[in-house]
Amino acid sequence: MTDFLDIDPEVAQALKDKRPVVALESTIITHGMPFPRNVETARAVETAVRDAGAVPATIAILDGVLKVGLGDTDLDRLAQEKDVAKLSRADLAAGVASGRPGATTVAATMIAAHLAGIEVFATGGIGGVHMGAETTFDISADLRELSMTPVAVIAAGAKAILDIPKTLEVLETLGVPVITLGQDDFPAFWSRSSGLPSPLRMESALDVARAIVARRTLGLAGGHLIANPIPVDAEIAAADLQPVIAQAMREAGDRRISAKAVTPFLLQRIFELTSGRSLDANIALVLNNARCAARIAAELVRLDR
């Protein structure tokens, strides 16, 4: 495995010393945000993790190796490279074998984090059940991964472009604990509330760390979805976004965009239709999740001492 997995020395040392480490994904860099804000955000997120006392480990495939912890040059390369593959569980191994650069989704990042021994991972929003899934069957592999791989994913809920009620139903069926921090409603990425109650609610990073330890001790497979609402001053009201999302989805339908291309297309169109407001909100929520993940990782390390 060492031929395919490359853990950055700083990350490896932190894990060995039982210091907090937070995994970060790369699809958000290559398919979620335009250049150069993508790489600026990737760096700012790493800094936010460090400022909160943890070591960041951004994950991607470069030169035929699954890298856990990217250097500055790696980040620049990834952000500017054309045709980076978006890799999930199904194509992760083929992506590594191809030798071409690849970005990891939430599912693939969870797999890599677990291989490296990292239990906490921050992203923007997880993939979920797409609108119209009753005919397209388009359900993100992120959901099943959460039921299989013991990593806690800190996200601002599920993106509002998804069918959130169905996403919550599938998570329940798969036995994934969905814990929202500090409020009763499950958040919807750019907005603080999806209008739906969260299955579980907790108030602090310590509560979450205790739940992770309990799940591990009980031997229950899978991870946790920790929903961290976007900060109040950064949110976009759901009512303002609804027509924009509807238009972007109509366009995706007209152009027959499908499978992996759907989420990147919608994010890009919503960015254009909101004159960049959606990207500002996205960046704010990712930074917020990075800080939250670092606090959870720190509590987890303390409980494990």
Residues 178, 124, 163, 231: what is their CA dihedral angle, to the nearest 10 degrees? 80
Give the range of 61-69, 120-128, 209-217, 248-256 binding ligand PSU by CB under 6 A.
Answer: 120-128
Q: Is 25 in the site for ligand PSU (CB under 6 A)?
A: yes
Is position 31 an interface residue for ligand PSU (rule: CB under 6 A)?
yes
Name the minimum Å distance from CB 114 to ligand PSU: 15
Q: Is 124 in the site for ligand PSU (CB under 6 A)?
A: yes
Check binding of 223 to ligand PSU (CB under 6 A): no
Residue 142 annotated as part of some ligand binding site: yes
List the end-to-end C-alpha distance of the chain, in Å, as a whole number.
28
Residue 152, beta-bridge partner list = 120, 224
Q: How far is 279 from 15, CA to CA, in rounded Å?
A: 33
Q: Which residue has the tokens 């297309």?
A: 265
Residue 28: name the closest of 242, 268, 230, 244 by CA: 268
Nearer of residues 133 and 213 to ligand PSU, judged by Cβ: 133
Q: Contact at 8 Å (CB) between 116 and 11?
A: yes
- Torsion angle (degrees, nearest 10) of CA 158, 282, 108, 79: 160
Q: Is 74 annotated as a binding-site member? A: no
Residue positions annotated with a catalytic role: 25, 159
- In angstroms, what is the minimal distance from the CB of 26 to ligand PSU? 8
> What's the residue count for the chain?
305
**Binding flags for ligand PSU, 269-298, as an x/- string (CB under 6 A):** -------------x---x------------
User: What span, in angstroms and rounded, lies between the C-alpha atoms of 259 and 245?
Assistant: 18
Q: Which of 12, 21, 24, 28 binds ligand PSU (CB under 6 A)?
A: 28
Task: Among 101, 102, 127, 187, indicate the residue that binds ligand PSU (CB under 6 A).
Answer: 127
Query: Alpha-carbon distance 227 to 205, whole Å?
Result: 12
Residue 86 among known ligand-binding residues: yes
- Rounded CA gap, 80 and 60, in Å? 14
Q: Taking the complex as a whole, how short is the minimal distance between the CB of residue 168 and ligand PSU, in angstroms?
A: 16
List interacting residues with ligand PSU (CB under 6 A): 25, 27-28, 31-32, 105-106, 123-125, 127, 140, 142, 260, 263, 267, 282, 286
